[in-house]
Structure 1
């Protein structure tokens, strides 16, 4: 299954035998993800899993620290 609108690219992925998930190419490209990127996984039973690019959090932290020091 694949779905795309202005805000979201949606696709399915199968969970591998060892728990690995392959993020579909279209989504990796849309989000600028590449091999070696660190990802943060957040999850709970009600909302499922969210995946955040750790690099995005590092960039946000740098902006916040710069603003705090000014």
Structure 2
């Protein structure tokens, strides 16, 4: 089924003991948000948006928290990102080393690739 033929979900508001909002996220997948989690904010002339205190507390957001910002039509999504822990980083390095070994890549190949990208001869 092509992009144009996919049916776009509509925003819905339903009642089931509490109010919930269903926001369309990627075609037919929905993200359920309780009304208690919904706040409004305004953008400043510099493009700054304040994340309401209740949401900052709930998500444990601190000064300097970093986000990926995604914009599509009339939807803006802020996704909190954080660097991997040292254990996660060690796991990523071990996995990369194993895949490099399986592919037959040597340390000298990596060194030469880095030098090439930096504009030096390898």
The TM-score range, normalised by the shorter chain, is 0.5 to 0.7
**TM-fit CA distance, 1:49:** 0.8
User: Once superposed, which parts of structure 1, at least 4 consecutive aligned residues long, lie more than 6 Å away?
Assistant: none
Distance of 1:41 and 1:32 partners within structure 2: 18
Structure 2 gaps of 5+ residues are: 1-34, 97-122
Which has the greater radius of gyration? 2
Shift of 1:65: 3.6
Query: Aligned partners of 1:10, 1:34: CA distance in 2, in Å?
Result: 19
> 5+ unaligned residues in a row in structure 1: which ranges?
none
TM-score between the two structures when normalised by the length of structure 2: 0.41
Q: Does 1:12 align with 2:40?
A: yes
Per the normalisation by structure 1, the TM-score is: 0.67
Query: What is the aligned-residue RMSD (CA, Å)?
Result: 2.6
